[in-house]
Amino acid sequence: MQTEPTPDDESKDEFFERLAKLSEEMVAKHGRDFSMGALVLAARWIAENRVGQLKTN
């Protein structure tokens, strides 16, 4: 039995699609190592609650 996706499910699916497209673009331009590193760094920033904090010199 399948249920209809909730608006929250649909929103998450849209973000996964965008993330997949961005990942593919990064791999095509800069390779797998850069792309994985960038995504891991982004995850680390989220885990450390640093998203949105810009560092200036």
Q: Which residue numbers in the chain have pLDDT < 50?
A: none
| Residue 23 to residues 4, 37, 45, 56, Cα–Cα distance (Å) | 28, 11, 17, 27
HEC states along the chain?
CCCCCCHHHHHHHHHHHHHHHHHHHHHHHHHHHHHHHHHHHHHHHHHCCCCCCCCCC
CA 30 from chain centre, in angstroms, equals 16
pTM: 0.75
CA–CA gap between residue 4 and residue 47 (Å, rounded): 31
User: What pLDDT, on a 0 to 100 scale, did the predictor assign at position 51?
Assistant: 81
Quick one: pLDDT at residue 52? 79
